[in-house]
Structure formats: structure tokens, C-alpha cells
Amino acid sequence: MSYTEVPGARVPIRMWADPATVEGAAMQQLRNISTLPWLHGLAVMPDVHLGKGATVGSVIAMNGAVCPAAVGVDIGCGMSAVKTSLTARDLPDDLSRLRSKIEQAIPVGRGLHSEPVDPGKLHGFQTAGWGDFWDRFEGVAPEVKWRRERAMQQMGTLGSGNHFVEVCLDKSGSVWLMLHSGSRNIGKELAEHHMTVARSLPHNQGIVDRDLAVFIADTPQMDAYRQDLFWAQEYAKRNRAVMMALFQDVLRGEFRRAKVSFDPVISCHHNYVSEERYDGVDLLVTRKGAIRAGSGDYGIIPGSMGTGSYIVRGLGNPASFNSASHGAGRKMSRTAAKKRFTAQDLAEQTRGVECRKDSGVVDEIPGAYKSIEKVMEQQRDLVEVVAQLKQVVCVKG
């Protein structure tokens, strides 16, 4: 489908979803965003749903301003995936050992490494810039500097919620590795610090929703936020790279005879800010639950822990600010999912997948998410499918 334009907004709201199917609270959030005087344009992805302050599945292009809530608390959250030389025939019938090995290598939930991972000891890992990256941590907000040790130990860890590590098969039977995570607690701490600062600034006192408080260009507060934002985005990218290296080492150990090899890793943020130019104007483009889908850009669009996922290539649609959805998107809250579904429902909906099937992850049940197939159908003018994947192992926090 092409987009639908929602009438009555100060700046056009372009939606790759049927407005009639979007929850009323999310539509109100979008209207609130459209009132911001710095807004240049707003694109809404088919996985749109209610978020804190800014709507998940929104692409917000601003002139000379950025909204921390439009990035979210997990700065730089995103995906990585890689095709391996293994095929379905190489996998054992019982995948529980493989899942256990992954969980031993990559801490999940609140877990962290007992000692920071040494990137120099990871097979083929590119360590360039690693020291400089941590040196730049000295420039982040003083209120968060004391988190350095924990941030170092959390580098290469998964977290919880909708984050996951998966072994998948594509239509031809090739094995893929895929994971979803972000900037862990350090990104959250930085985000919450700057959101508090933004809400206190005079120019934000009259806006319709204080959670949409912005920083404006050429101010000390904007400079401080940009520095911490881009550092946290890099942390998230490096976090996924370390996890992927640990993940690959698990497969090397488990499939020695197959001498497993890997294609280049595909990686993309879906909660982040980028400096881009549209309509002849330099803009700050915030994607909250959206990936960049410029012409030829590779991206990853996951479903849920029991459904398929997609490797895609962007078509470069400027109407969406070169963006596409970041996943299927929730159709009910975590609280509602826990009330609606049971562990037995989870076991039924994840049949054939080696994963947790207990009440602790019922809020991640496939039934709590929109149809990934429908979401993909709604964005045919944004991306083309390169590969369709189905998980056989799913590790969650």
C-alpha cells in the first residue's frame, strides 16, 4: 500500500497503516507530535502502537530540534543477523543443548559478564576504535559516569522484554543467526537524565505533552544530549557486535566438523537519531521503532517468538523519510497479554521452537503482536524482501 494522509494536522501525518485500526491513544500521540513547531514531517509505520511520549513506529523529522522521548529509553536498540554455511540438515533433532550453550555465552535479563569481554579475544573481531570509544565515556553526563563498570560488564549482554537471540532457517534451509538488543542500562540512564533536563527548559513549558519536550539547536543542552546520544547509539551497535561474535563462537564449538563460516553481518538501529537531508533541508530524523530503508539499505524486520522474520532491502521512499517498520508491533500491552494468555497458550503458539514456555515470557506471546505478514504487505513500497526466516531456537531474558 501507499500511505494515507491524516487530515487536520499542522504538518501532514503520512501513515502506512489504516488509521481506523490504530488505537485511539496512539492516534492522539501522533496528533500531539504534529503540533510541535520544529516538526518538518511525520511518517508512521504499519507496526505503529502506543509508546511513552512518542508513538512506537514513528519517524519524526525535525528542523533544529530533537525529542529524547521520540528516541526512547533504549537508545540505539536494533537488530543484527548473519547467514551461516550451515543448513537444516546440520542441526540436531534436539536443540536444547544449543539453546543452553547460547544462554551460557550471552547473559540474559539482568545478567552481566563477571568481567568485561575482551574484544581482542573474540574470533576475527574488529577492535579498531575500542579504546577511543571508552575514552569518550568520560565526556557523558556526570550523573551517569559512575555506571561505567556496569556498562562495561553489560557489553555483550541481551537484556529482557522483546530482546532475543535466535537461530533461524530461511526458505532454502540455510541457518541464520539473529539477535535484538540495545544500549542496556547505560542507554536508559542517559535517556532518562536528558528527558528530565528537557522537561525543565522554558521553551517546552507550553507544549501539549511535556513528554515531547525537545532540545533545540545551538544550546548547551542540545550539545550535551547529542554527545551522549551518539555515544549510546555506538554502545548499542558494539553490544550487538560482541553478542554476535559470542554467538558465532558457540556455533564454531558446536559444529566443528562442519567448519561453519559466516557471511557479512547485517546490522541496523531502530531507536535512534540520524542527520539527513530532505526537501533541501538538513534535518534530525528520529526513528522510534523504525529502520532506515534508503535505496539498497539492508534491514531486519522481526515478527514474534513464534512467527517469521524478514531480511529486507530498502527502496528509498522519501515520503517515509527512507524508513520502514522495525517489526510486527504489539497489538496489546504486556499487562493485557498476561491477563489474556497462559503458559499453555505460549507453548501452543511456539510449537516447534526451542524456547522458554513459562509464565515469565507470556507477555511476548505471538498473539500479543500484529500479523507480520500484514505489516510486510502494508510496506511493499518501502522495502523488498531478501530472505524470509523462521526461528527454531529463541533465547529470551
Cβ contact 77:181 at 8 Å: yes
Burial (0-12, 13-18, 19+ Cβ within 10 Å), 234 = middle
What's the CA gap between 269 and 255, in Å, rounded? 30
What's the CA gap between 59 and 84, in Å, rounded? 33
Q: Is 203 a catalytic residue?
A: no
Number of alpha helices (DSSP H) and beta strands (DSSP E) in the chain? 9, 18
**Is 103 marked within a binding site?**
no
**Is 304 marked within a binding site?**
yes
**Is 165 marked within a binding site?**
yes
**Is 24 marked within a binding site?**
no
**Is 327 marked within a binding site?**
yes
**Is 164 marked within a binding site?**
yes
**Is 253 marked within a binding site?**
no
Which three cell numbers mark 99? 539453546
Active-site residue identified among 49, 193, 194, 326: 326
Which three cell numbers mark 352? 516447534
**Is 341 marked within a binding site?**
no
**Is 239 marked within a binding site?**
no
φ and ψ at residue 336, rounded to 5 degrees = -65, -40
Cβ contact 320:58 at 8 Å: no
Return the CA Rg of the chain.
Answer: 20
**Is 74 marked within a binding site?**
yes
**Is 162 marked within a binding site?**
yes
**Is 32 marked within a binding site?**
no
What's the CA gap between 250 and 136, in Å, rounded? 31
What secondary structure does DSSP assign to 72-86, as a single string? -SSTT-EEEEEEEEE
Q: At 119, which amino acid appears? A: P
**Is 123 marked within a binding site?**
no
**Is 26 marked within a binding site?**
no
Burial (0-12, 13-18, 19+ Cβ within 10 Å), 123 = exposed
The binding site comprises 74, 162-166, 180, 270-271, 302-305, 309, 326-329, 396
The residues carrying an active-site annotation are 326
Q: Please give the annotated binding residues for GMP, written as ranges.
A: 162-166, 270-271, 302-305, 309, 326-329, 396
Binding-site entries for Mn(2+): 74, 163, 180, 270
